[in-house]
Amino acid sequence: MHPTLAINEDHSVHPIVTKTGLRAELLARRAAMPSETRSGAARPIRDALLSVPEVEMAGTIAAYVSIGDEPDTRSLLFALWKRGAYVLVPRLLPDGDLDWASYEGPDSLVPGARGCLESSEPPRGPGAVASADVVLVPAVAVDRTGVRLGRGGGSYDRALARVGPAILTAALLYDGELVDSVPAEPHDQRVRAVVTPARGLVRLG
């Protein structure tokens, strides 16, 4: 990390970690990750999630189609759908909010906005995420209190604000992306757990 240094009144020096700086550092780390590490993350994340009680019981699961360097969620989506869950995936709206439509297998995914794959099924509206029993979200990092750093669009802050307090919300991360501290702004919504390849589901807060 290359934090800015701030000089305190007592002349001691401390680092200021900004969201932008932390995001850039973690995205650079993902970009430099060996391809085996990247491709090896999907399966343990999927298998850990498939044995989480809330996921096993869930009638509706809101999830997402991974893009770029994110841990791949395609086999997870497929497994949840095959199991009979109603799986919702997001569609990015022009204002940065998320609409939701059902995933009905790999053939239901079509190219959408900003290089994302989205469902070709009818959109259910931004409020549909509130009907999910489990909500799985992407993140660049999460801290030990659940503060989540995304890509900077704030879309999942808007979606997570609609999710009830008893619902399991989990961000999917590579190992090392559960960090000590992420700067939080008032609009930032926490997640209640993360899933990493080495540790599986880690409940937070």
Ligand X SMILES: Nc1ncnc2c1ncn2[C@@H]1O[C@H](COP(=O)(O)OP(=O)(O)O)[C@@H](O)[C@H]1O
Q: Tell me which residues in 157-176 interact with Mg ion (CB under 5 A).
A: 157
Candidates 17, 91, 188, 192: give the one binding ligand X (CB under 6 A): 188
Q: How far is CA 199 from CA 5, 12, 146, 163, 184, in A?
A: 33, 37, 16, 25, 24
The site partner of 113 among ligand X, Mg ion, none (C-beta below 5 to 8 Å per kind) is none
Taking the complex as a whole, the smallest distance from the CB of residue 173 to ligand X amounts, in Å, to 14
Cβ atoms of residues 26 and 149 within 8 Å = yes
Minimum CB distance to ligand X smaller for 27 or for 202: 27
Burial of 128 by CB count in 10 Å (0-12 exposed, 13-18 middle, 19+ buried)?
buried
Binding positions for ligand X, 135-154, rule CB under 6 A: 149-154
Q: Which residues contact 33 (CB under 8 A, 6 or more apart)?
A: 69, 174
150 is in an annotated binding site: yes
Which residues define the annotated binding site? 19-23, 65, 70, 148-156
The site for ligand X (CB under 6 A) is made up of 19, 149-154, 157-158, 161, 185, 187-188
